[in-house]
A and B are shown apart, each in its own frame.
Chain A
Amino acid sequence: MQKKISKLPFKGTPEQAAALQKVIDANKHDSSRLMGVMHEAQNIYGYLPIEVQQVIADGMGVPLEKVYGVATFYAQFSLSPKGEYNISVCLGTACYVKGSGDLMDKLKELLGIDAEECTADGRFSLTACRCIGACGLAPVLTVNDDVYGRLTTDDIPGILAKYGK
């Protein structure tokens, strides 16, 4: 699957750069820890813009194309920023059977964005995720760390309203 690469300019702070450098220093002796470093970098920046990939490549002593290759291979690495609130709809089997596809469609309609996109004001982003293992609550979506279960499309406007939409 082709990944969406953000066109928004990269805005990194010195604090973020220092945090990343610390992670790199702790792991650079073992280049097979690349993915772990990329996970940490994504925690720091929220996504992995090419500028950050370059820093990781230099720090870990691997070519940039390898970092880019890994970033594009794994679903969890994001090349575009997440919104302040990231809404993630579970499209795993159990949720799908119980209608999570309809939840996704409703969210796309209300937010005016497609999956893997972020609204222009940077408030909401929308992602489809695989099973989060809360199948007993299907269908499920998460907004950042809050989990909402046993949903119908009628619940969606109320949930968005909670986050100021």
Chain B
Amino acid sequence: MYRSHVLVCGGTGCTSSNSQAIIEALEKEIAANDLTKEVQVVRTGCFGLCALGPIMIVYPEGCFYSCVKVEDIPEIVSEHLLKGRIVTRLLYDETVEGDGVKALNETDFYKKQVRVALRNCGVINPESMDEYIANDGYQALAKCLTEYTPEQVIQIVTDSGLRGRGGGGFPTGRKWALTAPNKADQKYVVCNADEGDPGAFMDRSVLEGDPHCLIEAMAIAGYAIGATKGYVYVRAEYPIAVRRLQIAIDAAREAGLLGKDIFGTGFEFDLEIRLGAGAFVCGEETALMTSIEGNRGEPRPRPPYPAVKGLYGKPTVENNVETFANIPQIILRGADWFASMGTEKSKGTKVFALGGKIKHTGLVEIPMGTTLREIIEEIGGGIPNGKKFKAAQTGGPSGGCIPADLIDTPVDYDNLIAIGCMMGSGGLIVMDEDTCMVDMAKFFLEFTVDESCGKCTPCRVGTKRLLEKLEKITEGKGTLQDIDELEQLCYYIKENSLCGLGQTAPNPVLSTLRFFRDEYIAHVVDKKCPAGVCKSLMHYEIIADKCKGCTACARKCPVGAISGAVKEPHVIDTEKCIKCGVCMETCKFGAIVKQ
């Protein structure tokens, strides 16, 4: 028995800010103080509060140390672990209350969160199967195999109201029910862990923090639909996730939780990891299956749906990581428990990756129906630097934005679709007044143009044309007619593209056109970028009152665009100016402004 446990986050966020070195330093210091038998260091998955990383929690006190540096370790060990004196200066300030420590669950960031999919992340050591089992792991699988028929399992999942967390929101129970009756010599369960939306890292955190949960859920799905083989398709950009998942699969196989005759029931199921190689389109289910087969990841037309003809032409169920992560809890705690959370048509919780201009960047799991205001202002801690909230972008390149005046929208599948947005896989990027919405739409189109697989013309050529129009607008060369054509082209691409990528690619444009049309108009009519982002639409100007006529700027200007007599206010010729900004850097009097 250890008297103290030190949990250090080993997720990608904290590993990037050097948590590995912190673990090593901890172990060294602990050994030096002869505490190895009393204190255990556990490398866990993601805690969620990535902005404050590297993060560590010391139990039993529950002290939450944030932004820990290697230099801080000797102090933490000698003061806290040896003498029992909490190192107050390193505590996350919201957990300090008077002289005591406030529980993490009572801080604004965690208070409203309900952790189902993430319940083990940041709690257990993901590389230890024993810790997972100690936390009710593999009980759900045992229950399914010994107490329920496959039909009953499907019924429970259907009754829970769980919908696909990858973006589409298709009811998971129905997907399983459509696949189960199809007869074939082989069926497959596929897990989509090809999390490609920029700014989204929910699935990665589950893989890194709780890999056994995914294995258990996939085995349950296998039992429900009658499949004996599963594939997890993971992005190769997630090396930590891949490694931990492989460790977990090997351990489960060793323990007889994968393989033949699981729990002595005769049920057989095994898993294999397949690595992606950086193609966004592979997040689309048919493209993903083509890629698992070792081909270029191009989508194929549906129908036939994967439930009938999926991987290798066999009936296949495909769900994403977060969807699977809910399954064991639904089995253990019942469909009614799960359905008691959320809204009428969106049950349970959803994990969001908060990013962009927000104080607490990181991962949060909240009940469906939580308003955007609660997410951003309470959980996320608001916008830094006193800036004003402008919009939130959900659903990545397939989604849209939610403007400030709809901030009280309860976030669930149907509400978001009603305002032309989508849940997406859970990336939530917050934008403040300094973000240009046209530039944002352009950014996403650059992404989709890059990632369009090229198989169908509306997407391959259409997205390119969309991007060209957006470039024209951000360069100040657009006309009102361009905006109309842009909109028409969007609808054309949506209606005619083969797969989800093309059908949703115009969404960022349509959504910004809907809520921020005035910004588009400002770009084409006034030739101004209201947020001051689009370079071509800005110009440098000298404030005559502040200019002392020192000539420094004129001498530095590489194109000779600045003129004026000594000791007289200077002027910039905007025709000649190349907007390099050297003059502004040179001016000692702050007389040059960018507008």
Residues of A within 8 A of B (CB): 1, 31-36, 38-39, 66, 69-70, 73-77, 91-94, 96-98, 129-138, 140, 147, 149
Contacts and interface: CB of A to CB of B under 8 A. Distances in A.
Given A32-B294, A77-B277, A136-B51, A97 B362 contact: no
Contact of B277 (A39, A130, A134, A135): A39
Interface stretch (B193-201, B371-379, B465-473): B193-201
A133 B13 contact: yes
Interface of B: 12-13, 16-17, 50-53, 196-201, 204, 236-238, 274-279, 291-298, 353, 355-357, 361-362, 393, 396, 427, 429, 431, 435, 443, 450, 453
Contact of B294 (A34, A130, A136): A34
Given A93-B443, A147-B16, A149-B17, A133 B204 contact: yes
B300 to A, nearest CB: 15
Interface centre among B51, B53, B237 (most CB of A within 10 A): B237
Contacts of B201: 131, 133, 135
A93 B393 contact: yes
B16 A32 contact: no
B250 to A, nearest CB: 16
A32 to B, nearest CB: 4
Contacts, number: 119
A66 B200 CA distance: 31
A74 B361 contact: no
A32 B292 contact: yes
Contact of A76 (B278, B427, B450): B278
A130 B355 contact: no
Contact of A135 (B236, B238, B298, B361): B361
Contacts of B274: 35-36
A17 to B, nearest CB: 22
Nearest to A32: B294
B55 to A, nearest CB: 10
Contacts of A134: 12-13, 16-17, 50
26 contacts: A32-B294, A34-B294, A35-B274, A35-B291, A35-B294, A69-B296, A70-B295, A76-B277, A92-B198, A92-B199, A93-B356, A94-B356, A96-B198, A97-B356, A98-B356, A130-B196, A131-B197, A131-B199, A132-B16, A133-B12, A134-B16, A136-B51, A136-B362, A137-B16, A138-B361, A147-B16
